[in-house]
Structure 1
Amino acid sequence: MDATRREGHEGTGPGAITPDGCAVEMYARLPAGDEPEIVAAHVPAGARLLELGSGAGRLTRPLVERGFEVVAVDESPEMLTHVRGARTVCSPIERLDLGERFDAVLLASFLVNTADEALGAALLGACARHVAPDGCVLIQRENDRWHDAATVPRTWERDGLRIRMASAEHRGTDRVAVRMEYAYEGAEWSHSFVSRVLPDAEFEAELAAAGLALDAYLTDDHSWARAVPAPRG
């Protein structure tokens, strides 16, 4: 295995592939969906926002357009070359320590569901380390229906990009090996990775271990959550 590749993550297709198997050229084409609206509805207007795992700026661009001051963090320099309108920082999230606090910290793209539990704890630790005492952390999670065997395989389209969840193989009680496939204007990519099933109670316990407390679930399916710094003492 390539020393830079994360265990359980593979990617194929034209262009650079990041350590977690993401294809840079594909992510540069991936539209944002409804995520910017969810963020904007639960973060104060004009807030200073730290986006952890920004990738190629799928969410960064629409958040900047909505008037947020965004600092975009990603471990892939190839991804960050596509980001516009935001200050960029090239760093693994788990090792990030900017010495700054933000009105809001964003951990999207289901990063909290990493199969590496120690990494998951470190990601939440980075959120807690950078959120202002009166700020909030917005976290995107895989919902219970995401890996439902009855819905796999399934295909959908966004702005001409065809997205297919080709397989979701359950491994034990809390791991799912997923293969995603993408096609756009004759180019094809794939992304294979392992997710951890993270029920609400376990998620909330991991927030607490990081010094955060659940404030609210923002969507009916609990795929978005807002956390705040936990009271001390």
Structure 2
Amino acid sequence: MTSPRIYHGTGPGPITPDGCAVDYYATLTANGEPERVHAAVPPGASILELGAGTGRVTRPLLELGHEVVAVDESPEMLAHITGAETVCSPIQTLALPRTFDLVLLMSFVVETADDDLRAAFLRTCRRHVVPDGCVILQRKPPEWYDTVQPSEHDAGDGRTVRMTDISRPGPGLLKATMEYVIGERRWTHTFLSRRLDDDRLGRELGRAGLTLSGFLDDDRGWVCAVPR
């Protein structure tokens, strides 16, 4: 997606342009996200999933009765997805000849520190949503940027997740490295993200032709927007 200045990854197996480790992502399963999305849209709603990765959320959405088109710029990621139409493309240049009831942009992709890239992501969302549809974005709650500290989590399945090297190189910016360990395998993902509070996100949505319409959770991490 962008230069290694913003995203960088290391470890065994393919690493995507935005630093994600394909082999690690292939081990992940959904953690309530499909049910949250399903509850926010009509039954059978068509879904365009941007940045689908290896299909962690794609598969459960299909099982919940949705038609899903899964988009990712990594062919290695998309190779893990079955049952859904897949499109290999960067999000920012995607131009499909159809629109969808829901456009889904998860995994905090919208928080890239590249402001021009974020604007292009939001234009893609607007371009592909039906007039009475919605766009669902996932962001970190704005206060997370002030409180996050280095951490380690044992997932209980042989997986260890660490956040290290946290710094705040500018107003609203956070740089950190995630470390993922499974047995003898170790991956890292370094990222630079920008805080998107309600006011800033609302302005940026507006410039893309969208309006912030509400939240799917109490901490405002799941954002719903609709076409203007």
Shift of 1:155: 2.0
Superposed counterparts of 1:130-209, under 5 Å: 130-149=128-147, 151-157=149-155, 159-209=157-207
Unaligned 5+ runs, structure 2: none
> Which stretch of structure 1 is more off in the superposition, 5-14 or 199-208?
5-14
* Structure 1 residues 150 and 8: CA distance shift in structure 2, 3 A: closer
Unaligned 5+ runs, structure 1: none
CA contact (8 A) 1:30 1:161 kept: no
Shift of 1:160: 3.9
Shift of 1:149: 4.4
- Find the counterpart in structure 2 of residue 97 from structure 1: 95
Q: Tell me, in whole angstroms, the C-alpha distance in 2 between the residues paired with 1:43 and 1:225.
A: 13
* Structure 1 residues 158 and 56: CA distance shift in structure 2, 3 A: farther
* Identity percentage of aligned residues: 52
Q: Deviations over 1:6-57 (max 9, x none)?
A: 4321111110000110000001112221211211110111111000000111
Give the TM-score, by structure 2 length: 0.94
Q: Which amino acid aligns with 1:194?
A: L
Give the TM-score, by structure 1 length: 0.93
Q: Which amino acid aligns with 1:219?
A: D
- Find the counterpart in structure 2 of residue 16 from structure 1: 14
In the comparison of the two structures, how many residue pairs are matched?
228
What SS class does the counterpart of residue 24 from structure 2 fall into?
helix
CA contact (8 A) 1:108 1:139 kept: yes
Alignment RMSD, CA only? 1.7
Q: Tell me, in whole angstroms, the C-alpha distance in 2 between the residues paired with 1:149 and 1:166.
A: 14
- Find the counterpart in structure 1 of residue 110 from structure 2: 112
Q: Which amino acid aligns with 1:198?
A: L
* Structure 1 residues 150 and 66: CA distance shift in structure 2, 3 A: closer
Superposed counterparts of 1:45-124, under 5 Å: 45-124=43-122
